[in-house]
Amino acid sequence: MSEIDFKPKLLRNTKVQRPKLYKVVLLNDDYTPREFVVLILKAEFRLDSAQAEVVMITAHQKGSCVVSVYPRDVAETKATRAVDAAGKLGYPLQFTVEPE
């Protein structure tokens, strides 16, 4: 007869880490119209009108404001798309991506 090993094998538990999150920060400038900033916040970051207004005013008063928090690739993509959209119209609107 052949030898068959009937002992149960232990399964290894692999720990899956959540991706690190990054903040998208809106920087204030004195040249981009407020209405355009609100439009970008609504279009790219899916904020409603009230949230977009609060973020825009906070950035205007304090110099910067966290828009939202995403995994790194999503945060960088959204920030880049928003800056590119503003640049096409000649506005110096800036967003940065920082680790949370």
Q: What is the pLDDT along the chain (100 residues), one digit of tens a residue?
A: 567 777 777 777 788 888 899 999 999 999 999 999 999 999 999 999 999 999 999 999 999 999 999 999 999 999 999 999 999 999 999 999 999 9
Burial 76-92 (b: 16+ CB within 10 A, else e): eebbeebbebbeeeebe
Q: Going edge to edge, which strands form the sheet with 94-99?
A: 64-71, 21-27, 94-99
At a CB cut-off of 8 Å and minimum separation 6, what does 71 contact?
A: 19, 20, 21, 22
HSE of 5 in the Cβ direction (CA atoms, 13 Å)? 3
pTM of the predicted protein model: 0.81
What is the assigned CATH class of domain 21-99? alpha beta
